[in-house]
Protein backbone atom coordinates (compact mmCIF):
# COMPACT_ATOMS: atom_id res chain seq x y z
CA UNK A 1 0.00 0.00 0.00
CA UNK A 2 0.95 3.66 -0.36
CA UNK A 3 0.10 6.62 1.84
CA UNK A 4 -0.24 10.09 0.36
CA UNK A 5 -0.44 13.37 2.24
CA UNK A 6 -1.46 16.50 0.35
CA UNK A 7 0.67 19.44 1.47
CA UNK A 8 -0.42 22.00 -1.13
CA UNK A 9 -3.55 21.87 -3.31
CA UNK A 10 -3.93 25.33 -4.86
CA UNK A 11 -3.38 26.25 -8.51
CA UNK A 12 -0.76 28.86 -9.46
CA UNK A 13 -0.99 30.98 -6.30
CA UNK A 14 -1.71 30.11 -2.67
CA UNK A 15 -5.01 30.91 -1.01
CA UNK A 16 -5.83 31.38 2.67
CA UNK A 17 -6.53 27.64 3.09
CA UNK A 18 -4.46 26.08 0.31
CA UNK A 19 -0.73 26.06 -0.29
CA UNK A 20 1.09 25.46 -3.55
CA UNK A 21 1.62 22.06 -5.15
CA UNK A 22 3.29 19.41 -2.99
CA UNK A 23 2.41 15.86 -2.00
CA UNK A 24 4.27 13.31 0.11
CA UNK A 25 4.01 9.61 -0.81
CA UNK A 26 5.16 7.00 1.70
CA UNK A 27 5.80 3.29 1.25
CA UNK A 28 7.40 1.41 4.13
CA UNK A 29 10.58 3.36 4.99
CA UNK A 30 10.60 5.31 1.71
CA UNK A 31 9.28 8.88 1.35
CA UNK A 32 8.87 10.77 -1.93
CA UNK A 33 8.02 14.47 -2.08
CA UNK A 34 6.27 15.25 -5.37
CA UNK A 35 6.80 18.91 -6.33
CA UNK A 36 7.77 21.57 -3.85
CA UNK A 37 5.77 24.76 -4.19
CA UNK A 38 6.57 27.86 -2.16
CA UNK A 39 6.03 27.24 1.56
CA UNK A 40 6.25 23.45 1.38
CA UNK A 41 8.71 23.23 4.28
CA UNK A 42 6.18 24.90 6.58
CA UNK A 43 3.45 22.55 5.37
CA UNK A 44 5.69 19.56 6.16
CA UNK A 45 6.16 20.86 9.70
CA UNK A 46 2.50 21.70 10.19
CA UNK A 47 1.51 18.22 9.01
CA UNK A 48 3.79 16.72 11.65
CA UNK A 49 5.79 14.81 9.03
CA UNK A 50 9.24 16.24 9.71
CA UNK A 51 12.21 16.00 7.37
CA UNK A 52 13.60 12.61 8.33
CA UNK A 53 14.25 10.33 5.32
CA UNK A 54 13.11 13.07 2.92
CA UNK A 55 15.78 11.96 0.47
CA UNK A 56 13.79 11.75 -2.78
CA UNK A 57 12.02 14.66 -4.49
CA UNK A 58 10.15 14.14 -7.77
CA UNK A 59 9.43 17.18 -9.93
CA UNK A 60 6.62 17.10 -12.50
CA UNK A 61 7.76 20.17 -14.46
CA UNK A 62 9.67 23.41 -14.08
CA UNK A 63 6.94 26.02 -13.56
CA UNK A 64 7.72 28.18 -10.55
CA UNK A 65 4.65 27.25 -8.49
CA UNK A 66 5.99 23.67 -8.42
CA UNK A 67 9.66 24.31 -7.57
CA UNK A 68 10.16 27.55 -5.63
CA UNK A 69 9.84 25.78 -2.28
CA UNK A 70 13.09 23.93 -2.97
CA UNK A 71 15.03 27.10 -2.16
CA UNK A 72 13.52 27.39 1.30
CA UNK A 73 13.81 23.67 1.95
CA UNK A 74 17.53 23.60 1.12
CA UNK A 75 18.10 26.78 3.10
CA UNK A 76 16.49 25.11 6.13
CA UNK A 77 18.67 22.04 5.71
CA UNK A 78 21.72 24.34 5.72
CA UNK A 79 20.74 25.74 9.12
CA UNK A 80 19.28 23.08 11.36
CA UNK A 81 18.01 19.98 9.61
CA UNK A 82 20.33 17.28 8.30
CA UNK A 83 19.63 14.36 6.01
CA UNK A 84 22.36 12.12 4.69
CA UNK A 85 21.66 12.80 0.98
CA UNK A 86 19.12 14.44 -1.31
CA UNK A 87 18.15 13.32 -4.80
CA UNK A 88 15.93 15.46 -7.01
CA UNK A 89 14.43 13.73 -10.05
CA UNK A 90 12.63 15.37 -12.93
CA UNK A 91 12.71 16.42 -16.59
CA UNK A 92 16.06 17.83 -17.69
CA UNK A 93 14.68 21.31 -18.41
CA UNK A 94 13.12 21.50 -14.94
CA UNK A 95 16.36 20.44 -13.28
CA UNK A 96 18.31 23.10 -15.19
CA UNK A 97 16.02 25.72 -13.69
CA UNK A 98 16.31 24.13 -10.24
CA UNK A 99 20.10 24.08 -10.53
CA UNK A 100 20.08 27.83 -11.17
CA UNK A 101 17.76 28.39 -8.21
CA UNK A 102 19.78 26.34 -5.75
CA UNK A 103 23.35 27.09 -6.82
CA UNK A 104 23.03 30.77 -7.72
CA UNK A 105 20.40 31.93 -5.22
CA UNK A 106 20.70 29.64 -2.19
CA UNK A 107 24.23 28.23 -2.15
CA UNK A 108 26.11 31.04 -3.93
CA UNK A 109 29.37 29.13 -3.95
CA UNK A 110 28.82 27.31 -0.65
CA UNK A 111 28.70 23.55 -0.42
CA UNK A 112 25.30 21.93 0.09
CA UNK A 113 24.82 20.51 3.60
CA UNK A 114 24.52 16.99 2.19
CA UNK A 115 25.36 15.20 -1.07
CA UNK A 116 22.88 16.77 -3.51
CA UNK A 117 22.21 15.11 -6.85
CA UNK A 118 19.94 16.32 -9.66
CA UNK A 119 18.90 13.30 -11.71
CA UNK A 120 17.28 13.91 -15.12
CA UNK A 121 14.83 11.17 -16.02
CA UNK A 122 12.87 10.13 -19.08
CA UNK A 123 9.77 7.92 -19.33
CA UNK A 124 10.28 4.49 -17.79
CA UNK A 125 11.27 2.93 -14.46
CA UNK A 126 13.80 5.06 -12.57
CA UNK A 127 13.54 3.83 -8.97
CA UNK A 128 13.19 0.30 -7.58
CA UNK A 129 12.73 -0.87 -4.02
CA UNK A 130 12.44 -4.42 -2.76
CA UNK A 131 8.71 -4.68 -3.40
CA UNK A 132 7.79 -1.64 -5.53
CA UNK A 133 9.01 0.61 -8.31
CA UNK A 134 8.43 4.15 -9.52
CA UNK A 135 8.04 4.99 -13.21
CA UNK A 136 7.77 8.26 -15.10
CA UNK A 137 5.49 8.88 -18.07
CA UNK A 138 5.03 11.88 -20.38
CA UNK A 139 2.36 14.49 -19.67
CA UNK A 140 1.35 17.32 -22.02
CA UNK A 141 1.25 20.76 -20.43
CA UNK A 142 1.71 24.11 -22.17
CA UNK A 143 4.93 23.43 -23.96
CA UNK A 144 6.79 22.35 -20.83
CA UNK A 145 8.70 19.10 -20.49
CA UNK A 146 6.39 17.36 -18.00
CA UNK A 147 6.23 13.98 -16.32
CA UNK A 148 3.71 12.03 -14.27
CA UNK A 149 4.62 9.31 -11.79
CA UNK A 150 3.38 5.74 -11.28
CA UNK A 151 3.99 4.05 -7.94
CA UNK A 152 3.48 0.32 -8.33
CA UNK A 153 3.90 -2.60 -5.96
CA UNK A 154 5.21 -5.79 -7.46
CA UNK A 155 2.68 -8.52 -8.07
CA UNK A 156 2.71 -11.30 -5.51
CA UNK A 157 1.38 -14.77 -4.86
CA UNK A 158 -0.31 -15.05 -1.45
CA UNK A 159 0.84 -17.77 0.93
CA UNK A 160 -1.94 -20.29 1.65
CA UNK A 161 -1.42 -21.56 5.21
CA UNK A 162 -4.12 -24.18 4.89
CA UNK A 163 -2.17 -25.87 2.09
CA UNK A 164 1.03 -25.69 4.11
CA UNK A 165 -0.76 -27.22 7.09
CA UNK A 166 -2.12 -30.06 4.95
CA UNK A 167 1.38 -30.78 3.65
CA UNK A 168 2.89 -30.73 7.13
CA UNK A 169 5.14 -27.70 6.60
CA UNK A 170 5.98 -26.35 10.07
CA UNK A 171 5.77 -22.65 10.88
CA UNK A 172 9.06 -20.79 10.72
CA UNK A 173 11.99 -20.61 8.29
CA UNK A 174 10.66 -23.27 5.91
CA UNK A 175 7.49 -21.29 5.24
CA UNK A 176 9.51 -18.10 4.81
CA UNK A 177 11.66 -19.82 2.19
CA UNK A 178 8.55 -20.94 0.30
CA UNK A 179 7.11 -17.41 0.33
CA UNK A 180 10.43 -16.18 -1.10
CA UNK A 181 10.24 -18.71 -3.93
CA UNK A 182 12.58 -21.44 -2.70
CA UNK A 183 11.77 -25.15 -2.49
CA UNK A 184 12.22 -26.79 0.94
CA UNK A 185 12.92 -30.32 2.14
CA UNK A 186 10.96 -31.81 5.03
CA UNK A 187 12.47 -34.22 7.58
CA UNK A 188 10.54 -37.11 6.02
CA UNK A 189 12.36 -36.56 2.73
CA UNK A 190 9.57 -34.84 0.79
CA UNK A 191 10.32 -31.73 -1.30
CA UNK A 192 7.76 -28.94 -1.16
CA UNK A 193 7.83 -26.33 -3.94
CA UNK A 194 6.40 -22.81 -3.77
CA UNK A 195 3.71 -23.72 -6.30
CA UNK A 196 2.29 -26.19 -3.77
CA UNK A 197 1.55 -23.50 -1.13
CA UNK A 198 1.15 -20.22 -3.06
CA UNK A 199 -2.04 -18.90 -4.64
CA UNK A 200 -2.61 -17.19 -7.96
CA UNK A 201 -0.53 -14.09 -8.68
CA UNK A 202 -2.21 -10.84 -7.62
CA UNK A 203 -1.24 -7.43 -8.98
CA UNK A 204 0.11 -4.88 -6.52
CA UNK A 205 -1.30 -1.49 -5.62
CA UNK A 206 -0.98 1.21 -8.31
CA UNK A 207 -0.99 4.93 -7.49
CA UNK A 208 -0.80 7.39 -10.39
CA UNK A 209 0.13 11.03 -9.90
CA UNK A 210 -0.39 13.60 -12.68
CA UNK A 211 0.63 17.22 -12.18
CA UNK A 212 -0.45 20.05 -14.49
CA UNK A 213 -2.01 18.58 -17.60
CA UNK A 214 -3.75 19.79 -20.75
CA UNK A 215 -5.22 16.57 -22.19
CA UNK A 216 -6.09 13.07 -20.99
CA UNK A 217 -6.17 10.81 -24.06
CA UNK A 218 -2.46 9.96 -23.82
CA UNK A 219 -2.88 8.99 -20.13
CA UNK A 220 -5.43 6.21 -20.60
CA UNK A 221 -2.91 3.40 -20.78
CA UNK A 222 -0.89 4.22 -17.67
CA UNK A 223 -3.97 5.20 -15.64
CA UNK A 224 -6.00 2.10 -16.52
CA UNK A 225 -7.09 0.16 -13.43
CA UNK A 226 -5.20 2.37 -10.97
CA UNK A 227 -6.21 2.08 -7.33
CA UNK A 228 -5.76 5.82 -6.92
CA UNK A 229 -5.45 8.66 -9.45
CA UNK A 230 -4.23 12.09 -8.33
CA UNK A 231 -4.78 14.72 -10.98
CA UNK A 232 -5.48 18.41 -11.39
CA UNK A 233 -8.90 20.05 -11.76
CA UNK A 234 -8.03 23.70 -12.27
CA UNK A 235 -11.22 24.73 -14.10
CA UNK A 236 -14.92 23.93 -14.33
CA UNK A 237 -16.59 22.92 -17.55
CA UNK A 238 -18.14 26.37 -18.02
CA UNK A 239 -14.62 27.64 -18.71
CA UNK A 240 -13.39 24.70 -20.77
CA UNK A 241 -12.01 27.02 -23.45
CA UNK A 242 -9.87 28.79 -20.87
CA UNK A 243 -8.69 25.41 -19.59
CA UNK A 244 -7.64 24.53 -23.14
CA UNK A 245 -5.94 27.89 -23.59
CA UNK A 246 -3.76 27.42 -20.49
CA UNK A 247 -3.33 23.65 -20.90
CA UNK A 248 -5.24 22.58 -17.81
CA UNK A 249 -8.16 20.25 -17.10
CA UNK A 250 -11.70 20.78 -15.96
CA UNK A 251 -13.12 18.66 -13.15
CA UNK A 252 -15.31 16.89 -15.68
CA UNK A 253 -12.37 16.05 -17.93
CA UNK A 254 -10.53 14.49 -14.99
CA UNK A 255 -13.61 12.52 -13.99
CA UNK A 256 -14.15 11.29 -17.54
CA UNK A 257 -10.59 9.97 -17.58
CA UNK A 258 -11.18 8.15 -14.29
CA UNK A 259 -14.41 6.65 -15.59
CA UNK A 260 -12.92 5.51 -18.90
CA UNK A 261 -9.80 4.10 -17.27
CA UNK A 262 -11.67 2.20 -14.57
CA UNK A 263 -9.74 3.66 -11.65
CA UNK A 264 -10.87 2.90 -8.10
CA UNK A 265 -10.69 6.42 -6.64
CA UNK A 266 -10.07 9.91 -8.01
CA UNK A 267 -8.31 12.63 -6.00
CA UNK A 268 -8.63 16.15 -7.44
CA UNK A 269 -6.09 18.84 -6.61
CA UNK A 270 -4.56 22.06 -8.07
CA UNK A 271 -7.80 23.98 -7.52
CA UNK A 272 -8.41 27.53 -8.67
CA UNK A 273 -9.54 30.12 -6.13
CA UNK A 274 -12.28 31.15 -8.56
CA UNK A 275 -14.48 28.15 -7.71
CA UNK A 276 -16.22 26.75 -4.67
CA UNK A 277 -15.00 23.31 -3.62
CA UNK A 278 -18.54 21.91 -3.64
CA UNK A 279 -19.02 22.93 -7.28
CA UNK A 280 -15.82 21.17 -8.33
CA UNK A 281 -16.95 18.06 -6.46
CA UNK A 282 -20.44 18.13 -7.94
CA UNK A 283 -19.14 18.41 -11.51
CA UNK A 284 -16.75 15.50 -11.08
CA UNK A 285 -19.11 13.25 -9.12
CA UNK A 286 -21.79 13.60 -11.79
CA UNK A 287 -19.43 11.54 -13.98
CA UNK A 288 -17.34 9.56 -11.47
CA UNK A 289 -18.96 9.19 -8.04
CA UNK A 290 -15.85 8.03 -6.15
CA UNK A 291 -14.21 11.44 -6.39
CA UNK A 292 -12.60 13.37 -3.55
CA UNK A 293 -11.63 17.03 -3.77
CA UNK A 294 -8.60 17.07 -1.53
CA UNK A 295 -7.59 19.72 0.98
CA UNK A 296 -4.23 20.62 2.47
CA UNK A 297 -3.12 18.01 5.03
CA UNK A 298 -5.57 15.33 3.87
CA UNK A 299 -4.00 11.87 4.09
CA UNK A 300 -5.20 8.75 2.28
CA UNK A 301 -4.17 5.11 2.24
CA UNK A 302 -4.10 3.68 -1.29
CA UNK A 303 -4.31 -0.11 -1.45
CA UNK A 304 -5.69 -2.80 -3.69
CA UNK A 305 -8.89 -4.39 -2.48
CA UNK A 306 -8.42 -8.14 -2.59
27 known ligand binder = no
Q: What is the mean pLDDT of residues 279-297?
A: 98
113 or 22, which is more confident: 22
User: Residues of the chain with pLDDT > 70: what percent?
Assistant: 99
DSSP code of 95? H
Q: Which residues pair with 2 in a beta bridge?
A: 302
**What confidence score (pLDDT) does residue 181 get?**
86
146 or 144, which is more confident: 146
Distance CA 244, CA 249 (A): 7
Among 267, 273, 255, 272, which Cα is nearest to 298's? 267
Q: What is the mean pLDDT of residues 257-282?
A: 97
Alpha helices by DSSP H, listed for the chain, are 40-46, 69-79, 92-100, 161-167, 173-179, 220-223, 240-245, 251-261, 277-285
**What confidence score (pLDDT) does residue 142 get?**
85
61 known ligand binder = yes
What amino acid positions are annotated as catalytic residues? 65
Q: pLDDT tens digit string along 159-215?
A: 899 999 999 999 999 999 998 889 999 999 999 999 998 888 888 999 999 999 999
Is 83 a residue whose pLDDT tops 90?
no
All structural domains of the chain, each given as residue ranges with its CATH number in brackets, are 2-156+201-302 (3.60.15.10), 161-196 (no CATH)
Distance CA 68, CA 166 (A): 60
**What confidence score (pLDDT) does residue 306 get?**
58
Q: What is the mean pLDDT of residues 99-112?
A: 93
**What confidence score (pLDDT) does residue 29 get?**
94
65 known ligand binder = yes
Amino acid sequence: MFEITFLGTSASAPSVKRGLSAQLVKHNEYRFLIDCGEGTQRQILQAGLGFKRLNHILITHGHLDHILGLAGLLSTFMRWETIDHLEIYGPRSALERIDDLLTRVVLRGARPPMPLTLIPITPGVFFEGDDFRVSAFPVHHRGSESLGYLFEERSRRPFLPEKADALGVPAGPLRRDLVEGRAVHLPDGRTITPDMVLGEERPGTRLVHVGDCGETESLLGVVSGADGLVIEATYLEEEREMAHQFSHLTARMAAELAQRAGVKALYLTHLSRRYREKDVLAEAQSVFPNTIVVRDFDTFIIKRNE
